Amino acid sequence: MVYYQRLGTVPPKRHTQFRKPDGEFYYEQMQGEEGFAWNQSFLYHQNPPTVITGAESVDQAGPPSVANEPLLPRHLRTHELAPATDAVLGRHRLMGNSDLTISYVHATESSGLYRNAVGDELVYVEAGGAVVESSFGELEVRAGDYVVIPTSTTHQWRLTSESLRLLIVESSGGGHIRPPKRFMSPLGQFLDGSPYNERDVRGPSRLIETRTGPADVLVRTRTGVTRYSYAFHPFDVVGWDGYNYPYALNIADYMPSTGALHLPPPTYITFEAPGFVICSFVPRMFDYHPEAVKVPYAHANVDSDEVLFYTGGDFMSRAGSGIDQGSISLHPAGYIHGPQAGSLEKSLSAERTEETAVMIDTFRPLFLGEAAAGIEDADYPWSWAHGWGQDVTGAR
Ligand SMILES: [Fe+2]
């Protein structure tokens, strides 16, 4: 959802006869949220979208299930993950709980057809370019894009660069990934003062030329993945309209607020979903009070686990921690975290930050996936102790 869009040809009224030039019917399909009680789109297919001719289970890694014990801050280096096949089957599942799964993939091939029947997906493009092809048409995406793909959108990732680096959030807590309510009027227009608005949000720009013939589609469910064989290709749509479609927002189009003194992370909220929020840290002026401390104070995330994906800039407050491009840090509830030694003093004369980072705050504890163990920086929990000259006994 963001606002009403229409591509191609739709009949003047819903649920009326809509015929091809040869007199045959087009086939109407509704894709909606929350049953029939929330935003919807109506698509018009050349062939019925319902005809399955086969179904089989597909083996996939289970959800992240390793408890974060002993409770530690974590640092994962995503660029140490091996390149994988594609943006769907090659996902390394790093962290998750019942509300979401966080994965990373360095894809080197285009994906097959796929839809997530559990929840919306939010994909952050760290590097590379692609076209997200769906029944709604072509959505070109590039580095820095957040791509929101609503539940049950049949789509595929077609690479337009040699490879693609993606951070993927699969929502599974019910409900949907949406712009925060406080940005919106009751009827769904972005209010003035929102950090982004309709002009920044890109939907599919054109329909896909009709594809014919049978097609396989992978469907993610709560318990696994099923491969359906369809008699007719799902990309045979002649028109659609509505509020439910995949869209992109580039993080550079997110306009940050700044203040005289430090503003807390919720200032930078970008999307919200049941059980978590997404915030964007982008290049911006530092606080301008003459006595301002420009790095964050130490803080305890009493009610949330805090995940940061570092995707550009200098990460001033983390100097000496090993954090670099492609790093993910996890600061769990129960651990008090803050800047590294020396960064407070260094910040005093700085006027702006060039950092870009994506934050995912979850409201329930995160479990770790098997893929996380292989890319973990085991020294990270002790980086504060090293900075303040302390001996470390390590995890026991
Ligand atoms: Fe934090």
Distances (CA, A) of 124 to 5, 51, 66, 262, 311: 23, 33, 24, 26, 10
Give the residue from 275, 300, 299 showing the smallest Cα distance to 365: 275
Residue that the structure tokens 């709980």 belong to: 97
Do 337 and 72 meet the contact criterion of CB atoms below 8 Å apart?
Answer: no
From ligand 1's centre to the CA of 75, what distance in Å? 13
Distance CA(191)–CA(131), nearest Å, equals: 30
Higher pLDDT, 175 or 373: 373
pLDDT, mean of residues 7-15: 97
From ligand 1's centre to the CA of 357, what distance in Å? 12
Distance CA(226)–CA(56), nearest Å, equals: 6
Q: Could you tell me the pLDDT band of residue 316, with boundaries at 50, 70 and 90?
A: low
Cite the beta strand spans of 211-348 per DSSP E.
215-220, 225-230, 237-242, 247-250, 269-273, 276-281, 284-285, 299-300, 305-312, 327-331, 336-337
pLDDT at 41: 97
Higher pLDDT, 322 or 105: 105
pLDDT, mean of residues 1-25: 94
pLDDT, mean of residues 375-385: 95
pLDDT at 212: 87
pLDDT at 88: 95
Residues 6+ positions from 389 with CB-CB distance below 8 Å = none
Residue 318 pLDDT greater than 80, yes or no: no
Distance CA(360)–CA(256), nearest Å, equals: 17
Residues 6+ positions from 245 with CB-CB distance below 8 Å = 5, 41, 134, 136, 150, 153, 203, 204
pLDDT, mean of residues 33-61: 93
Residue that the structure tokens 């085991």 belong to: 378
From ligand 1's centre to the CA of 181, what distance in Å? 23
Do 71 and 275 meet the contact criterion of CB atoms below 8 Å apart?
Answer: no
Do 362 and 100 meet the contact criterion of CB atoms below 8 Å apart?
Answer: yes
Q: Are strands 113-116 and 215-220 parallel, antiparallel or unpaired?
A: parallel
pLDDT at 34: 86
From ligand 1's centre to the CA of 321, what distance in Å? 14
pLDDT at 372: 95
From ligand 1's centre to the CA of 297, what distance in Å? 9
pLDDT at 1: 54
pLDDT at 395: 87
φ/ψ bin of 152: left (φ > 0), alpha (ψ from -120 to 50), beta (otherwise): left
From ligand 1's centre to the CA of 318, what distance in Å? 11
From ligand 1's centre to the CA of 53, what distance in Å? 50
From ligand 1's centre to the CA of 268, what distance in Å? 13
Share of the chain above pLDDT 90, in %: 81
Share of the chain above pLDDT 70, in %: 99
| pTM as predicted | 0.96
Q: Could you tell me the pLDDT band of residue 191, with boundaries at 50, 70 and 90?
A: very high
Instruction: Summarize pLDDT for 337-369 with one digit per residue, the tens.
Output: 988 888 888 888 889 999 999 999 999 999 999
Give the residue from 241, 243, 239 showing the smallest Cα distance to 45: 239
pLDDT at 38: 87
pLDDT at 35: 84
Distance CA(251)–CA(284), nearest Å, equals: 13
Residue 282 pLDDT greater than 90, yes or no: yes
From ligand 1's centre to the CA of 306, what distance in Å? 6
